[in-house]
Each structure stands twice: as C-alpha cells, then as structure tokens.
Chains A and B, each alone.
Chain A
Amino acid sequence: MSEMEKLSTKQKRIKRKSAYTIALAGNPNVGKSTIFNNLTGMNQHTGNWTGKTVANATGSFEYRGEQYKVVDIPGTYSIMSHSEEEEIARNYICFGNPDVTIVVVDATSLERNLNLVLQITEITDNIIVCVNLLDEARKKKIEVNLEELSNILKVPVVGVTARRKKTLNNLLKVIRSVCEGREEIKPVYQIQYNEKIEKAIEQVKEIISRQYKIEEKLARWISIKVLDGEKRILEEIEKQLHIELMDHIEISKAKEKALDILEKEGIHQEEFKEKIVSTIVKDAEKIGKEVCQFKNKDYANRDRKIDKILTSKKYGIPIMILFLLLIFWITIIGANYPSQFLFSIFGNIQEKLIEFATYVHCPEWLSNMLILGVYQTLTWVISVMLPPMAIFFPLFTILEDLGYLPRIAFNMDGFFKKACCSGKQMITMCMGFGCNSCGVTGCRIIDSPRERLIAILTNNLVPCNGRFPFLITIATIFIAGTIGGIGASIVSTIAVMFVIVLGIIMTLVISKILSKTILKGMPSSFVLELPPYRKPQFLKVLVRSIFDRTIFILGRAIAVAAPAGLVIWLFANIGIQEESLLTIIANFLEPLANLMGLDGYILTAFILGVPANEIVLPIILMCYMQGTSLVNMEDTFAIGEILRQNGWTMLTAINVMLFTVFHFPCATTLLTIKKETGSWKWTAIGFLIPTVCGIVLCMLTTLVYHVFVV
C-alpha cells in the first residue's frame, strides 16, 4: 500500500466512527479459523495456535467501504456447560453485543452442529448460519438443502467452501445486508419445550420482565437458566447485565413456585436440564433429517479404514514413531544446507563490518564486543534456529491439517491416564520436539487447567530441534566412533533414540509425581473428537506456520541472544589476573561438575547457552580452544579430537547427552512458560524440574560408572 492509500483508509476509518462487529461461532474443527483467516487476511491481532482459539482472536476487514471487526470465539459443541471455552463463547454471544453472530457449521455433520445453532437462537435473533465444507459433503454424497434450512430456522443461510476464498463472497454480501439492516430480521426459530416446562419458563419470565428491562428473548433464556440453577452462568448474567437474580426475592419465589409445580408433574430440577438438552438435540436431529440427504450411507468408510490401521494395537504406535522420525530426519538433513548458507552470508557481512570498524577507527575492544560478541551470537542463533523451524513447523502443521494429531492423542491416552494426565499432552510433546516454546504454547489444547500446567512444566523433558544436532554429534563421536562403518550411524541413532525415550518416560514419571504432590488431582474426563481426515492446504500451511510460529519464536530468541552475546563475550574477555571470568566460573562449578561426570566448562556452557541450546557446543569449543568468540566447526572428527584432548570419556559423553535432554529450558521457553502460566513461581518450577532430573541422573551414572567400571 502506498503512503497515500494508507492515509486515505485511515481517514475513512476516522470518518466512520465504529465498525460493525461480527462474532464467529461454531463447533471445533469446522473451519471457523479458515473463514476467520480468509476474511481478515493479515489483519489479525492474535495468532491462532493449534486447533483451538482459547481467547477471542479479533481481526478486521473492509467490504464495500465499510469496516468490519471479526471476533473469532472458541469452538465449542455447546454453550451450556462451564468449561473455559464455553464460558468465553457464551459470554461473548450474550454480552458482547455483536451486530451479527455467524455460526459456522459442518455440512458433513450438520445434525450435531445444529445443536449449537439452536442454542444460539435462544439468545439472539441476529444470526447467519454459514454451512462450510460443502465440497467434502459433496464427496461424501451428502446433500444439504440450504434453502429449506433457512426456511425452518428463519435466518439467512449461506453455503461456502472456506478453503476457496471466492466462495466467501456470498457470505460477505449477507453479512453486509444483515449489518446494514437490509435483511429483515424475523423472529427466528424457537425451541418449544414440553408444555409443563414452557409454563414454568413463562412464570419466571413474567417476573423478570416486570423487574428489568430486558429483551423478550434474553428474558426467556435467563428464565431457563434461573430454573436450571447453574450458578456460574447466573453469576455472569448478574455481573454483565447489572441485575440481581439469585438473591432477588420475587424471582426466587417465582422460581421455587415453578419448580414445585414441575416437581408435582414429575420433573425434578435434576432432570430439568436433561429435558432442555434433549429437546434441543431432538430438534436438531429433526431439522437435520429434513435438510440432509445421505445418498451414500457408508460415507465414512475410507476414514474408518485408515483409522483401523493408524490406531491399531499392532501398528498404531510404530506408525506414529515412524511419522515423527521421518519429520525429524527431514528437518535435520534439510536444515543443514540453508544453515550453512546463512552462516556464510552472515560471515561475509561480519568481515565487512570488521573492515568498516577498522576504517572508522573504532576502538578494537568496542568493535570486538559488538561484532564478535553481539553480532556473532545473534546471527549464530538465527542461522541454526531458523532453518529447522522453517522445515519442522510446516511438516507438523501438515500432520495437524490432515487430522492425524487427535489420533496421536487417542493412541497415547491410555499411558497418560496412568500418569493422571491427558493424551493430548503427547501432541504438545511432539510440538516440543520441534521447539519447546511452541510446545508450551500448544498446551492450550488441554482443557483441564491442572493437566495443562503439568504438560507445560514437563514439556522441556523432550529435546527440541536445537538439541538434536548436539545429541547426534556427541553420539556419533563417542558412541558410534568406536565402531565405524554403517554400524556407526545405526548405533548413534539408537543412542539418540534411547535418550529421547528416556525423556518420554521421565515426562510420564514426573507428570505422575506432580499429580500426586503439588498438582493433586484425578485425570479429568477425556472427550476427544476424531475429525474426518482432510487434505492439507499446503500453501496456507506454509504461510501460517512461518508467520505464526517460526517468526514469532525467532523474535523471542533474538531478543535474548543479543544481550547474551554481549555477556558471553565479556565473560571470555574480561578477567582477573590473566584468568577470564569464564575460567573463574568454570573452576567454581568444577566440583559439582565432577560429581556429575562433567567438567566446569561444560556446565558453564550450558548456563551461557540459555538463550539457545544451539550455542552450547560452540561455547564449549570456545572454552577449550582458549578462544574469545564462538567457534564454528563442521568437521565432527576434529570436534571429537578437541573434546578427547580435553579429557572427554564415554562417561562424559553419556552425561552430556543426558544433561542436554534434562536441563533448564532455554530463555525463550522460560518466557513462554511465564506468559502461559502468568506466574514466576511456575516458571521457576519449570526451570527446576528438568534441571534437578539432569543433575540426579548424571550423578547416578557417574556413581554407577565409578563403582562398577573404574
């Protein structure tokens, strides 16, 4: 956009004081986020993370000169219960005063989706029903009569295929005409409960309407809630509408009276809610039958066949491991080349910078500090972090788009249940393999706050992309190095696999310990939808994973790497009596390090490597070579020589591998834990858990080694 254009849109916005507000509601997995993304493009304020919008994401767009604000509310099956998402969704639809609520429904399972639509019709008249995934429905030979649906519900119904942007045009037209009041809003479909219940509702409604000035429809809805007696919802209504319900004498009286009559008719308060729910479900079923035609009853056969294999007792878990291994392998192999390319570009620039510094007579200490300290560490982190993330996340997002991730949770839930956790934790661990910081954010998919916290605190126990290459290098040098040939790569792979499996086992163990101690509780109910498999949208996957995850994480890493580079440089260059600070610290840590079968420099490197795990090995090499800046070495053999010369043995290698998997999270992850938990206390615990694990494990192996071997 040119400056002129920018200015003119800005002026337009000032002219029109407020924008129309649109709420986007719907079941999970109906493509709500795709519609949101296509409507708002890049004009979003928060990124959407895996599978779920937990907070309301907002964005905006312009259509025919009008400004629209879109609020993407969490995907839910219902808005009657009290899970966090349902509360957010309900509150926004009820009290957020959107100009229109679009309910996105899945054409392939309209009946279940209509349940939510009907619940929303009880709250507001300003509804557009957007039937998505029509292409999939067609493939499954399901015909949806949109016109009939519109006639029954008495709301505008628009059919779209959200992944094809063009099909959204109709939706835009309808949004516009509804918002501008061109569409005549008729009283929409109203659920009729049985006579006795209707009477009871009417009694309470009469009193509420007399006491407060509330729209007819909302008064009816509130009456139902009053009779139902759901405290959380009532409290929210009281708060938002500034009214009194539960302690209001007349309303309470009316409620008691109505409940008494119901009781006499044989409907206890307990059953009231059940009757309400089942009436809605039955209505949805009836409407669904009227508008949908299933021409092929076995439409789900293909999915079931795939499911049978992917979740089978024999192959389910091996296939999952294979998928993950394949992703890691592609990531590690594929990242090498772009990494080297970035290194050489940044290296060239570095030389130019040094030349420039000399040219302007910059004092050497200053140019060294800025170039060899700050610049080099910063570009190092970018070179080693960017390529693997730019490969891993798109691959992972493809698995996500395919619908495979819920199957992972399904396969693994049995094991996690034993640790009093949810199978969804496995998904967050898989993300953790890519980047622990993303894994921690991904924990939002876990519903129960207790289980989410456990998943956050233990995520760092699986090694991320930044730690893999280091693990492989060490395994290649010390464990496979003694064998040679093809056997070598197999042995080093096994060694790396072993520490990973250990990480997974430790995750389960620690989760269980947490569940029994500071985060006491039983596993919450686990209800997980296994959505139909879908063809991933490759281009969108690429854009989304790069912008939402890669750039975001890289930004945080850079913010930490620059000051850390300065610190590392200072440590290597400042000293007392010929000894650099680095050596002083290493000497100080030496006794602890020795107990852990490491040396002081290694521990120091892990500590200084807190901005990014990728720079731990370069710091170790810098220490050993008495250098004053990070050392980049390609040749594994040469690295091995240096390490051996500095006293590394098989024990050192094993302990370094263990400590690589089990030590404090990197700075980016720590910041993310702070953000997700909102507490420094949990961040500290997230720091301590893996660290203590690592120290104990390393001490154990050292002890065993000294007792049995030497």
Chain B
Amino acid sequence: MKEKTVNELKLGEIGVVSKIIGEKTIKRRLLDLGLIEGTNIKLVLISPSGDPRAFEFRGSLIAIRKEDAENIKVK
C-alpha cells in the first residue's frame, strides 16, 4: 500500500503507522503517546474548523493539529 500521512485518512479509516518523522520535540511527543511503527490509528473526529482532528489509538482519543499530524506516516 502507498505511504501517506494520517491527514489523508478518511473519517473512520484505520491506518497503520509506518514512520514518525519531523522535528525532535514533536517527534518525541508523538512517540511518547505510543505512536510507534505498527500502531493502528483511526481518524474519529474532525473539529468544526477542520483542524485539529482527533485520532483513536491505543485505546485513547487524542486531538492532533494538521501540521503535527503531517509527521505521522501510515500505510
């Protein structure tokens, strides 16, 4: 499957994290939330203005902004 970012997921679609890229601080923050290779991540909510979006992974619902989510690559 082609690699894309979680921003390209459709509502309800599940992706599998393939890579976390980006600047050190945000990368670590995402890693700390448990977003590592192989994690299932599902787009669940889109806020009224379209950004941020809330993703479900590892049993919790986390809102992430577009530019941060851009660093999460999924398959």
Contact = CB atoms under 8 A, between A and B. Distances in A.
Interface of A: 77-78, 80-81, 108-112, 115, 273-274, 277-278, 281-282, 284-285, 300, 303-304, 307-308, 311-313, 316-317, 406, 409-411, 413-415, 417, 423, 523, 525-531
Interface in B51-71: 51-52, 54, 56, 58-65, 68
B2 interface: no
Contact of B28 (A80, A300, A414): A80
Contacts of B65: 413, 417, 523, 525-526
B62 A111 contact: no
A311 B29 contact: no
A357 to B, nearest CB: 61
Given A78-B32, A411-B48, A414-B50, 18 more contacts: A81-B29, A109-B59, A109-B60, A112-B34, A281-B31, A284-B34, A285-B58, A303-B61, A304-B44, A307-B61, A308-B45, A311-B46, A311-B48, A410-B45, A414-B48, A525-B29, A527-B62, A527-B63
Nearest to A112: B58
Nearest 4 A-B pairs (CB), nearest first?
Answer: A414-B49, A78-B32, A109-B59, A278-B36
Contacts of A527: 29-30, 33, 62-64, 68
B37 interface: yes
Contacts of A108: 59
A443 B44 CA distance: 28
Contacts of B64: 526-527
B47 A316 contact: yes
Interface of B: 20, 25-26, 28-34, 36-37, 39, 44-52, 54, 56, 58-65, 68
B36 A529 contact: no
Contacts of B26: 525
B68 A410 contact: no
Nearest to B63: A528
B51 A80 contact: no
Contacts, number: 120
B39 to A, nearest CB: 8
Nearest to B49: A414
A317 B50 CA distance: 13
B32 A81 contact: yes
A115 B34 contact: yes
10 contacts: A111-B59, A112-B34, A112-B60, A282-B36, A410-B47, A413-B47, A413-B51, A413-B65, A417-B65, A526-B63
Contacts of B20: 274
Nearest to A292: B59
A110 B58 CA distance: 9
Most buried by A among B30, B33, B45: B45
Contacts of B60: 109, 112, 529, 531
Nearest to B57: A112
Contacts of B50: 414
Contacts of B61: 300, 303, 307, 529-531
A596 B20 CA distance: 56
Contacts of B44: 304, 307
A417 B65 CA distance: 9
Most buried by B among A313, A406, A415, A530: A530
A300 B32 contact: no
A60 to B, nearest CB: 32
A525 B39 CA distance: 21
A112 B58 CA distance: 6
A413 B45 contact: no
Contacts of A112: 33-34, 58-60
Contacts of A417: 51, 65
B30 to A, nearest CB: 8
Given A307-B45, A525-B25, A414 B33 contact: no
Contacts of B51: 413-414, 417
B3 to A, nearest CB: 18
Given A278-B36, A526-B68, A411 B47 contact: yes
A417 B50 CA distance: 12
A409 B45 CA distance: 13
B61 to A, nearest CB: 4
A119 to B, nearest CB: 9
A320 to B, nearest CB: 9
A402 to B, nearest CB: 15
A81 B68 contact: no
A410 B59 contact: no
Given A77-B32, A308-B45, A527-B62, A300 B56 contact: yes
A273 B28 contact: yes
Contact of A312 (B28, B48, B54, B58): B48
A586 B16 CA distance: 69
B7 to A, nearest CB: 14
B11 to A, nearest CB: 10
A413 B64 CA distance: 10
A81 B28 contact: yes
A411 B45 CA distance: 10
A285 B31 CA distance: 14
B48 A530 contact: no
Nearest to B52: A413
A404 to B, nearest CB: 14
Contacts of B49: 413-415
Nearest to A316: B48
Contacts of B68: 525-527
A18 B49 CA distance: 55
A193 to B, nearest CB: 14
Contacts of A406: 63
B8 to A, nearest CB: 19
A303 B54 CA distance: 13
Contact of B36 (A277, A312, A313): A277
B47 A80 contact: no
Contacts of A282: 36
